[in-house]
Structure 1
Amino acid sequence: MEPLGATTVFLVICVSCLLFLSARRKTPGSGKLPPGPVAFPLIGNMLQLNAKNMPQELEQLSRTYGPIFTIYLGSERVVVLHGYEAVKEALVDLAEAFGARGSIPLFDKTGKGTGITLTNGEQWKELRRFALTTLRNYGMGKKSVEERIQEETHFLVERLRNTQGRPYDTSLLLIHVVANIICAIVFGDRFDYEDENFVTLISLILENGKLPQSLWAVLYTFFPTLMDYVPGPHQKIFQNVLKLRRFVQERVKMHRESLDPNCPRDFIDAFLIKMDEERMNSQSHFKMGTLCQCAVELFMAGTGTTSTTLNYGLLILLKYPEIQEKVQEEIDRVIGQNRSPSMADRSQMPYTDAVIHEIHRFITLIPLGASRAVTRDVHLRQFLIPKGTTIYPVLRSVLHDSREFPNPEQFNPGHFLDANGAFKKSDYFMPFSAGKRVCLGEGLARMELFLVLTAILQHFTLKPVVDPNDLDITPVSSFVSNEHKPFQLCALPRERQ
């Protein structure tokens, strides 16, 4: 039995290798896959890639194989796009072909084929169109999105004032602020920061924001089928999403009982009205499960990314007090201290606008970009990429391109200012990605960043608890995102002029 067992194992390995190599080389029609490092059966390029610093790993590979190359995450084939030209050519010039969402195993399981973020085809188009319409700045309930953000900044300023200039970690406060803005949009009302339900909601969001950055999540990305049966912290993500879904279900039930079709209050009301309008359509994508998933996605996607960007921005302003001072001079000149900042002010504040753009560019929050997939066999330059192939558009390679942004590793608002100090747009600015799958919440995130940052600097001067020269603003990279190092600040009230 022993020799037979050894022979069987040997044959299985040989067959696996042959199947893997066959799948790797097989491309329908004429053409070939982009080149890439040799991958091992089953584990792909796992041993050759440092998951803790994937952007740099992929940059090194691009120097060897060019701006378009192939890697394998486990048995999944991934084509990597590196550099502005390759990313633009695929995501913008061939937007339709590169317009599907790529596989994200952790979130594929939690989404269950519903929602906006992870779906494709007609379902995705309909839901995205509906969400964009509903999330527009005006026309939702009695308050515009801008008014909801301005309302939340009042609570933020009051909370900072209560610190009385003592050292304070703003991370949790900014998560509360951003989450409450989304609560106001989705549920029609905000929560008190100490509300028990709100505290639970935040804890779930925080935990699910950290878990995808762990080694367990990386292993799940490489081996999703196997990791489904392995106990570990990654299983907590699925449990937390179920809890978030139950929270949303309770809110939907309350909305259904008080719904007035003639006066929608928020996203849930708008979705329920759409469900009622299409109740006779058996093919409708507007169903209860989809509503709950959309709400969960809004919380998961919007809260962590925007709050991290805001907090990172504060750290950078602590590092460069002269930049903070110039922003405050512009705030005093355009807005003053007697009214709330509004989006109408932004066009008159080129330096502040440049600082916010540079924050996005410098930190490159999602350095690999959200994965895409090709909707058909598509030719990209001399290569043929088969339908369904996962695509990684490396946004860091665009946002840190030294041809467009000299000394890209340095924070410099001048990257977005012309010789006369006017704001200068850049085609290379794509922190929210580009093409058909550009981030759904881009408009909301930009609005939040401008209104919240200007409100803070309107009322406070931010001081570090250490020498500014000792502050480290270098990103802490993971497989998923860039984070800032922990820090505290002192928010000193400004004298009214």
Structure 2
Amino acid sequence: MSQTLKLASRASLVSRSFPELWAELGFQAPARVIKTHKTLEDMPGPSVLGFFTDLFCKRGLARLHELQIEGKAKYGPVWKASFGPILTVHVAEPSLIEQVLRQEGKHPIRSDLSSWKDYRVCRGHAYGLLTAEGEEWQKLRSILGKHMLKPKEVESYTGTLNSVVSDLVRRLHHQRSCHGQQVVKDVAGEFYKFGLEGISSVLFESRIGCLELDVPQETENFIRSINRMFVMTLLTMAMPKFLHRIFPKPWKIFCESWDYMFAFAKGHIDKRMAEVAERVSRGETVEGKYLTYYLAQEKLSMKSIYGNVTELLLAGVDTISSTLSWSLYELSRHPRVQEALHEEITGVMKGGAVPSAADVAQMPLLKAVVKEALRLYPVIPGNARVISDRDIQVGEYLIPRKTLITLCHYATSRDARFFPEPDSFRPERWLRKDAAHHPYASIPFGFGKRSCIGRRIAELEVYLALARILMHFEVKPEPEGARVRPMTRTLLVPDRDINLQFVSR
């Protein structure tokens, strides 16, 4: 009997829940903790040593864009990694990128760009649109947006840009005569000069000689300074500040590069402003059509003008050079697409010599070619955001405020779910109405308030240049030329010179 009671008692204990037993014994049941979001601790990712090994023991910083694809395959659409002293969350899914960007707030921060800011503090320079934050950034964005984002304002630069394109075509004619088989060596370098001349004409309404047969030495030095600065940017950001004293060379080269760029911009601004002042003193009416003039009219300090123009100079160059280089590289390898594009251009122009903004608006294949080149080779392979005022939810994770979030555009733009045959150059994918691309799968100019403010000017410049080049030349690969692949130098650039044949039509 007693054994039966004991068994019944045990059965009763087993049948009751733990909270019931806890209450029966006179204790208050502990509160049930429900975890609604995963945290950074739950997020997968390589160890610091593992990431360092992947990065530096293989192809180094040059393969950062490839690590996006490898990271997504290994860890899923969201993972974390430490880049030197910086912890970053990588997001490689279009819907999650959209989720991040829709929570960026009133004054979004693109990324910390700590070394860029450290340099400006060190030298006492003003922040420009790329480095400013908060209300200062909002003010600069509003001022520049009046003249760089409105379609009619941008179209007004057509004549200025077409003048630069004419010089580019003449230079290509000359450069191909310098080598056998009508080859132009290092087209990215030629388009770099074109991009700098174009943005300078918009900023100063004057020319700086980039497309002359003998390029001024100061212009060559400026171009080299931009390249060195971008290479050193990743190194200086990855190194803790105390290492700058132990290994001073990267920081020294970085600062010297910026010093030259600021001095270059200041010299051209001062010269242009002095010309305007002289005309005003003679009682002449001055109507500027260049951005430096507009900035002066907005009562910005000269220090702020120097900072903004310097940043706009470097921002405008790489976009043009990269997009034109990769577009012509792929067109040279796809002659049927090139021929179809040539037919489109000549059909719209009907014997006209110089396309206008209205003309390129009637060239859908031209725009599709540029879109496809930017999908395959986004100038900025990974954009970033720092949400400074609150924690945000990204998928199943709660990301703490002030966490650096890298948006992996290179990985999403080569995702087969959104772009069949993702590594193939297929401009027609942008022309089919039934093709459904996630709107955030390929956003080479960014999105929202922190999107590229020079996008419209850059696109117009690329369209005008590409149309004119194909009106004059059939572009072919260099005979026995090697395959060119992208590599990361902060921006995405060719891993070797792109050499192309320019055959007169």
Do they superpose with TM above 0.5? yes
Per the alignment, do residues 304 and 443 of structure 1 end up closer, same or farther by CA in structure 2, a change over 3 Å counting? Answer: same
1:72 aligns with 2:86: no
- C-alpha separation between the residues in 2 aligned to 1:480 and 1:459? 30
Question: Which residue in 1 is equivalent to 2:145?
Answer: 132
- C-alpha separation between the residues in 2 aligned to 1:137 and 1:157? 28
Q: CA deviation at 1:206?
A: 3.0
Map 1:276-287 to 2 at 5 A.
286-287=300-301
Per the alignment, do residues 301 and 269 of structure 1 end up closer, same or farther by CA in structure 2, a change over 3 Å counting? Answer: same
TM-score normalised according to structure 1 size? 0.81
1:220 aligns with 2:236: yes
- C-alpha separation between the residues in 2 aligned to 1:121 and 1:49? 33
Residues 462, 491 of structure 1: 8 Å contact kept: yes
Question: Which residue in 2 is equivalent to 1:208?
Answer: 226
Residues 378, 444 of structure 2: 8 Å contact kept: yes
Residues 365, 483 of structure 1: 8 Å contact kept: no
Question: Which residue in 2 is equivalent to 1:360?
Answer: 374
Per the alignment, do residues 178 and 293 of structure 1 end up closer, same or farther by CA in structure 2, a change over 3 Å counting? Answer: same
Q: CA deviation at 1:403?
A: 1.6
Residues 74, 222 of structure 1: 8 Å contact kept: yes
Deviations along 1:399-438, one digit per CA (max 9) or x if unpaired, are 1121221011111112212179xx9876133011223211
Residues 77, 93 of structure 2: 8 Å contact kept: yes
Say which SS state the counterpart of residue 312 (structure 1) adopts. helix
- The one-letter amino acid paired with 1:75 is P
Question: Which residue in 2 is equivalent to 1:160?
Answer: 172
TM-score normalised according to structure 2 size? 0.80
Q: CA deviation at 1:100?
A: 1.1
1:148 aligns with 2:149: no
Question: Which residue in 1 is equivalent to 2:291?
Answer: 267
Map 1:419-434 to 2 at 5 A.
427=439, 428-434=441-447
Residues 475, 502 of structure 2: 8 Å contact kept: yes
Deviations along 1:3-60, one digit per CA (max 9) or x if unpaired, are xxxxxxxxxxxxxxxxxxxxxxxxxx986226133645xx894345453322332333
1:46 aligns with 2:66: no
- Any stretches of 5+ residues in structure 2 without a counterpart? 1-35
Residues 395, 433 of structure 1: 8 Å contact kept: no
Question: Which residue in 2 is equivalent to 1:240?
Answer: 257
Per the alignment, do residues 160 and 194 of structure 1 end up closer, same or farther by CA in structure 2, a change over 3 Å counting? Answer: closer
- C-alpha separation between the residues in 1 aligned to 2:148 and 2:216? 22
- Any stretches of 5+ residues in structure 1 without a counterpart? 1-28, 276-285
Per the alignment, do residues 97 and 187 of structure 1 end up closer, same or farther by CA in structure 2, a change over 3 Å counting? Answer: closer
- The one-letter amino acid paired with 1:32 is T
Q: CA deviation at 1:139?
A: 7.3
Which structure has the larger Rg over C-alpha atoms? Answer: 2
1:290 aligns with 2:301: no
Deviations along 1:187-207, one digit per CA (max 9) or x if unpaired, are 111133349885413432334
Q: CA deviation at 1:360?
A: 0.8
Question: Which residue in 2 is equivalent to 1:384?
Answer: 398
Q: RMSD over aligned Cα, in angstroms?
A: 3.0
1:55 aligns with 2:65: yes
- C-alpha separation between the residues in 2 aligned to 1:59 and 1:161? 40
Say which SS state the counterpart of residue 249 (structure 2) adopts. coil
Deviations along 1:136-182, one digit per CA (max 9) or x if unpaired, are 567779x9222211111111122223345722223332222111111
Q: CA deviation at 1:135?
A: 2.6
Question: Which residue in 2 is equivalent to 1:3?
Answer: none
Q: CA deviation at 1:347?
A: 3.6
Q: CA deviation at 1:288?
A: 2.0
Q: CA deviation at 1:247?
A: 2.5
Q: CA deviation at 1:377?
A: 2.1
- C-alpha separation between the residues in 1 aligned to 2:46 and 2:427? 41
Per the alignment, do residues 409 and 208 of structure 1 end up closer, same or farther by CA in structure 2, a change over 3 Å counting? Answer: same
Question: Which residue in 2 is equivalent to 1:331?
Answer: 345
Say which SS state the counterpart of residue 183 (structure 2) adopts. coil
Per the alignment, do residues 188 and 140 of structure 1 end up closer, same or farther by CA in structure 2, a change over 3 Å counting? Answer: farther
1:37 aligns with 2:45: yes
- The one-letter amino acid paired with 2:164 is E
Residues 99, 373 of structure 1: 8 Å contact kept: yes
Residues 96, 436 of structure 1: 8 Å contact kept: no
Question: Which residue in 2 is equivalent to 1:86?
Answer: 96
- C-alpha separation between the residues in 2 aligned to 1:139 and 1:309? 23
Residues 229, 258 of structure 2: 8 Å contact kept: no
Question: Which residue in 2 is equivalent to 1:435?
Answer: 448
Q: CA deviation at 1:115?
A: 0.6
- C-alpha separation between the residues in 1 aligned to 2:437 and 2:348? 21
Q: CA deviation at 1:262?
A: 5.5
Question: Which residue in 2 is equivalent to 1:475?
Answer: 486
Higher deviation after alignment, 295-304 or 93-102: 93-102
- C-alpha separation between the residues in 2 aligned to 1:30 and 1:359? 38
Per the alignment, do residues 449 and 384 of structure 1 end up closer, same or farther by CA in structure 2, a change over 3 Å counting? Answer: same
- C-alpha separation between the residues in 2 aligned to 1:48 and 1:360? 26
Question: Which residue in 2 is equivalent to 1:445?
Answer: 458
Residues 233, 254 of structure 2: 8 Å contact kept: no
Residues 148, 184 of structure 1: 8 Å contact kept: yes
Q: CA deviation at 1:451?
A: 0.8
Question: Which residue in 2 is equivalent to 1:307?
Answer: 321
Per the alignment, do residues 487 and 114 of structure 1 end up closer, same or farther by CA in structure 2, a change over 3 Å counting? Answer: closer
Per the alignment, do residues 392 and 98 of structure 1 end up closer, same or farther by CA in structure 2, a change over 3 Å counting? Answer: farther
Say which SS state the counterpart of residue 382 (structure 2) adopts. coil
Q: CA deviation at 1:456?
A: 0.3
Aligned length: 445
Higher deviation after alignment, 438-447 or 260-269: 260-269
Say which SS state the counterpart of residue 490 (structure 1) adopts. strand
- The one-letter amino acid paired with 1:352 is L
Per the alignment, do residues 31 and 411 of structure 1 end up closer, same or farther by CA in structure 2, a change over 3 Å counting? Answer: closer
Residues 365, 427 of structure 2: 8 Å contact kept: yes
Residues 98, 374 of structure 1: 8 Å contact kept: no
Per the alignment, do residues 138 and 431 of structure 1 end up closer, same or farther by CA in structure 2, a change over 3 Å counting? Answer: closer
1:251 aligns with 2:271: no
Residues 117, 297 of structure 1: 8 Å contact kept: yes
Per the alignment, do residues 116 and 98 of structure 1 end up closer, same or farther by CA in structure 2, a change over 3 Å counting? Answer: closer
